C-alpha cells in the first residue's frame, strides 16, 4: 500500500491511464471484486484500476455537491486518496462504489467547510415554508447534464441535501449527520429542494413547448 502522499499522487496519476474507458464510466463496483483485496494488500495495478473506475464517479459527485467550486479537482483527488488509504478497512458489506460515495461526501464537505470557515455561516431555511412531503421529480427522461444544470440553480443547502438523499441514497438522519444540521432542518431542506426541482422541471418543460 502506498505510504505517503507523493506515492498516493503517483498512483492517482497512474489510475487515469490504467482504465482509459473509465472516463465515462460511473457503474457499480461490487464489494466482492477480487481487485479490492489485491489493492488492499499493496497491488498497485489493482489499486490503479479501481481508482481509475471510481474517478469519474467521484468527480461527478463532487461536481454535484459544489458546482462552480474552483477546487473540484482537488476535492476529487483528496477523496480518492482517502478511499485508497481506507481500503484495508473495507469489509465488503456493500458495493465498493457505495462505500466510496460516502467517503467522497465526507471528505468534500469537510474540505468545503474548512475553506469557508472565515465566511458567514449559511442561514437555516425557514422550516415552516413547506409542510407536506413532495415526491421526487421524475428523472427518467433527464440527462446527467440537465440534472446538473438544474441542481446548479438551487441554493447550496438545498442542492446538497437533494444530492445526498436522492443520488447517494442516504436516509434523512444520515443526511443531517453528514451536513451537521438538525434532523428537522435536513427534512425541511429536502422538501423545499425537491419542490423547487420539480418546479424547474415543469418550467423548463413549458418553455420547450
| Domain assignment of residue 154, given as a range | 144-208
The CA distance from 193 to 150, in Å, is 11
Residue 95 and residue 40 share a domain = yes
Residue 148: pLDDT band with limits 50, 70, 90:
confident
Radius of gyration of the chain (CA): 18
Question: Do 156 and 110 share a structural domain?
Answer: no
On whether residue 151 sits in a domain, the answer given is yes
pTM: 0.68
Asked whether residue 14 is assigned to any structural domain, the reply reads: yes
* Shared-domain flag, residues 157 and 84: no
CATH number of the CATH domain containing 174: 1.10.10.10
Domain boundary pick from 73, 98, 115: 115
Instruction: Say if 131 falls within a structural domain.
Output: no
Same domain, 42 and 98: yes
The number of residues making up the chain comes to 209
The answer to whether position 20 is within a domain reads yes
Rounded to whole angstroms, what are the CA distances from 88 to 6, 34, 76, 169?
Answer: 19, 13, 20, 24
Given a cut of 90, whether residue 100 has pLDDT beyond it is yes
Cα distance between the two ends of the chain: 56
Domain count, the chain: 2
Residue 114 C-alpha cell reads as 474548512
Per-residue pLDDT tens digits for 108-139: 999 888 876 645 443 443 433 323 333 444 44
Q: Which residues have CB under 8 Å from 202's CB, separation 6+?
A: none
91 and 9 in a common domain:
yes
User: Does 86 have pLDDT greater than 80?
Assistant: yes
How much is the pLDDT for 207? 52
154 with 108, same domain: the answer is: no
CA distance linking residue 189 with residue 158, whole number of Å: 5
Same domain (yes/no): 82, 182: no
Residues 84 and 174 in one domain: no
Q: Is the same domain home to 10 and 51? A: yes
Among 34-43, 133-142, 157-166, which range has the highest average pLDDT? 34-43
Amino acid at each position: 500500500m502506498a505510504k505517503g502522499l507523493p506515492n498516493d499522487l503517483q498512483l492517482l496519476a497512474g489510475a487515469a491511464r490504467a482504465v482509459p474507458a473509465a472516463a465515462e464510466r460511473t457503474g457499480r463496483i461490487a464489494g466482492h471484486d477480487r481487485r479490492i483485496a489485491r489493492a488492499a494488500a499493496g497491488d498497485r495495478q489493482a489499486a490503479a484500476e479501481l481508482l481509475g473506475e471510481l474517478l469519474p464517479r467521484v468527480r461527478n459527485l463532487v461536481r454535484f455537491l459544489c458546482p462552480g467550486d474552483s477546487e473540484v479537482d482537488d476535492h476529487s483527488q483528496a477523496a480518492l486518496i482517502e478511499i485508497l488509504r481506507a481500503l484495508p478497512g473495507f469489509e465488503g458489506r456493500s458495493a465498493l462504489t457505495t462505500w466510496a460515495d460516502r467517503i467522497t461526501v465526507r471528505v468534500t464537505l469537510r474540505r468545503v467547510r474548512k475553506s469557508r470557515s472565515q465566511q458567514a455561516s449559511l442561514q437555516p431555511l425557514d422550516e415552516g415554508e413547506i409542510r407536506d412531503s413532495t415526491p421526487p421529480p421524475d428523472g427518467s427522461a433527464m440527462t446527467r447534464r440537465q440534472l446538473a444544470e438544474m441542481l446548479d440553480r438551487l441554493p447550496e443547502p438545498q442542492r446538497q441535501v437533494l444530492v445526498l438523499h436522492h443520488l447517494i441514497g442516504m436516509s434523512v438522519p444520515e443526511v443531517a449527520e453528514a451536513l451537521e444540521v438538525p434532523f428537522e432542518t435536513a427534512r425541511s431542506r429536502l422538501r423545499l429542494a425537491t419542490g423547487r426541482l420539480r418546479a424547474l422541471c415543469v418550467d423548463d418543460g413549458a418553455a420547450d413547448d
